[in-house]
Amino acid sequence: MSTDTRNLTLVQAVRDGLEIEMHRDEDVIVLGEDVGKNGGVFRATEGLYEEFGKDRVIDTPLAESGIIGTSIGMAAYGLRPVPEIQFMGFIYPAFDQIVSHAARLRNRSRGRFTCPLVVRAPYGGGIRAPEHHSESKEAFFVHEPGLKVVIPSTPADTKGLLASAIRDPDPVIFLEPKLIYRAFREDVPAGDHTVPLGEAAVRREGSDVSVYTWGAMTRPTVEAAETLADEGIDCEVIDLRTLSPLDRETIVESFEKTGRAAVVHEAPKTGGLGGEITAILQEEALLYQEAPVKRIAGFDTPVPLYALEDYYLPSSTRIEEGIREAVEFP
């Protein structure tokens, strides 16, 4: 692997990862609404049409079910399609294709066919977008056997996880936190770069409480942890990165060290991944538990429009308050 780096934003890392994989494997195909000449609504595919041509960077009609259905057919016959859904809130028409066909192809064919496709979609709130543009519905797909679900939080992880997803033999839902598409830059390995699926990253080591999060919530969680450190509360922040399969070993290992936990996500609290992580801790580390697991999440409502998003999304202040509750119990 090259030791050279490029200083990239998260969305530039998406584009870099796609370009590298398209050079590495001529079976990698990009398709979706406006991904070709336009370069995508967030410019994640900018220049790929000119570089690889219309047969590998394909503009599609506004029909999400057709985009994913076509991709499943491509994958079954040996290609590695990377379809883009413009916003996660537009993915519902494709839900049937994803769960009824992509997720089941290996099992249905008794292993004769796999479905190596990566569904890319910007997700989450915070950019003052209209209705259906701010959803965080990762739990829908984590619940479905046969799918992997990946959410990066840094540019380097974005490129590495995307490459691993494209090379995976089974379907991957790759959700990109658009709130931080251009929020910061970091050095990203140039050339070939992969990050294994299914492995969490410890963003901050600590001994008092384990805080689990992912995607756009990782940065405010780390900020909250640094603020609480001034109060003498030592947080360990775990960025899960892959939500299916979960890195249960890292989740449990951290909890066995701290005995207290909080989960931070922007999806609605009810039915969110916070509940699943709490169940894992109950099943595998109950005797280490010193306090109820605190869930710091979005509210059980549609994502509100515009300025009310600031109230809906967990802020570093709300995260601090939730972590204090976990630490100060009883």
Positions annotated as catalytic residues are: 133
3-state class of 7 per DSSP?
A: strand
Amino acid at 87: F
The pair of structure tokens assigned to 269 is 């609290």
- 172 DSSP β-pair partners: 118, 148
Residue at 84: amino acid letter: E
Q: At what angle do helices 273-285 and 248-258 cross, to 10 degrees?
A: 70
Which residues make beta-bridge pairs with 22?
none
Token pair belonging to 6: 């490029």
Q: Which residues contact 256 (CB under 8 A, 6 or more apart)?
A: 285, 288
Burial grade of 41 (CB within 10 A; 0-12, 13-18, 19 or more): middle
Buried-exposed string 157-174: b where 16+ CB fall within 10 A, e elsewhere: bbbbbbbbbbbbebbbbb
